[in-house]
Structure 1
């Protein structure tokens, strides 16, 4: 399986510019993940096609929010840190906006990268990670 494209939102002052990379290789995937800083880059989408994608947001303080939408949101997977509390919240900037996310939905870069690499190879959620599944 190969990803079709990456869409990165870059904040430039009070506006957002979208960058598109077609047929990305592993280096492009990792570069996009590494650019997430919760400031200039706070949201990136990785598309298999128009109906199946992974979204990774955040990046500041090693906090990432990861979800997968399959078949145009018919099935949603939210990556969970199983050892973190779901009762407490953390502030994470995603898509240029600060939001409050359950602590267990904020994973570190290593876990986000593992999820991304599996998704890019297999087109679904890594069964070795913990996911909250809807749909």
Structure 2
């Protein structure tokens, strides 16, 4: 298992709490994904180390995902091949609603595939579509 730490942000009214889970199992990783509900839980980060992580935001079958490798070195954004980048959808991430390109608004099945691959290999799943910056 490559993931060494999970950081979840939980919102309760105007207060925010961080939850840290060290050395999670695959079950723990999938449970963190399941907790994303775009309300109390809307942002979770899965760390290989301090500069290498996957961020998943949203919930309710509408998620945004990116992988950061090194500080400002490489950023992989998961995209849906069959969706437009010209239209937008609203996703709650970190307790705030934001507008994202439609092709960055993903279903839970795609996110789970990306997360499971990342948890085992520490990189972007080759069977999925990624936009790469850096």
Sort the TM-score into its range (normalised by shorter chain): over 0.9
Displacement over 3 Å in runs of 4+: none
Q: Secondary structure at the match of 1:54?
A: strand
2:101 aligned with 1:134: no
Give the corresponding residue for 1:40: 40
TM-score (normalizing by structure 1)? 0.97
1:1-135 pair list within 5 angstroms: 1-60=1-60, 62-135=61-134
Structure 2: where are the runs of 5+ without partners? none
Query: TM-score of the superposition, structure 2-length normalised?
Result: 0.98
Q: CA-atom RMSD, angstroms? A: 0.7
In 2, the alpha carbon distance for the partners of 1:28 and 1:16 equals 21
The total of aligned residue pairs comes to 134
Unaligned runs of 5+ in 1: none
